[in-house]
Structure 1
Amino acid sequence: MNSSFFQILKAKKELIPLVGVVSFAAVGALSFSVYSLFSKSDVIINKSGNPEPWETVNPTKPQKLLTIHQKWEPIEELEHVRKLMK
């Protein structure tokens, strides 16, 4: 299989940039998926371990890649509802 793939690339050299761009895009998509899986708080793998992981998110730590002049202040009504739910 691999030898036939490389033989096709040797025969049709115009496919080399296309294969390179598609490979780069696939590696980028895979690496971003792995990055999101391990570092983002809104991605859930195990729902039975902690069904509400967003409750443990640190509100002072920015969750976005770039945050400009954003301050977090708790909403009193939501805090009251959260106390009632627990």
Structure 2
Amino acid sequence: MAKGILNILKSKKELIPLAGILSLAAAGAFSFCLYSLFSKSDVIIHKIGSSEPWETIDPAKPQKLVTINQQWQPIEELEKVKKLTK
């Protein structure tokens, strides 16, 4: 009764495209998780380092996957408050 996946796909050929699409979607989701884990600065695995990791993020580097016409300029009031709290 316990047939392998390959035996099922050999006997029911109409399931091959479905298995291919699901495999591709799973591989894409896994690869995006790895991409986010290693390249995004707002993804944190452990909290041993800085208690405020958002302070080390470069504001000139876009954090989104797609950024269109975004210009960053520092806000003077926030910079003053940041200097006073340190």
TM-score bracket, normalised by the shorter chain, equals 0.7 to 0.9
* Further displaced range: 51-60 or 11-20: 51-60
Separation of aligned partners in 2, 1:22 and 1:83: 51
- Give the drift of 1:73: 0.8
Gaps of 5+ in 1: none
- In structure 1, the residue matched to 2:73 is 73
Separation of aligned partners in 2, 1:51 and 1:29: 29
- Give the drift of 1:11: 0.6
Deviations 1:27-63 (A, max 9, x none): 0000000000000011011212122121111222222
TM superposition outliers: structure 1 runs of 4+ over 6 Å: none
- In structure 2, the residue matched to 1:58 is 58
TM-score (norm 1): 0.86
Aligned amino acid, residue 45 of structure 1: I
Aligned pairs, how many? 84
Gaps of 5+ in 2: none
Separation of aligned partners in 2, 1:25 and 1:55: 35
Identity level (%): 67
- Give the drift of 1:81: 1.7
TM-score (norm 2): 0.86
RMSD: 1.5
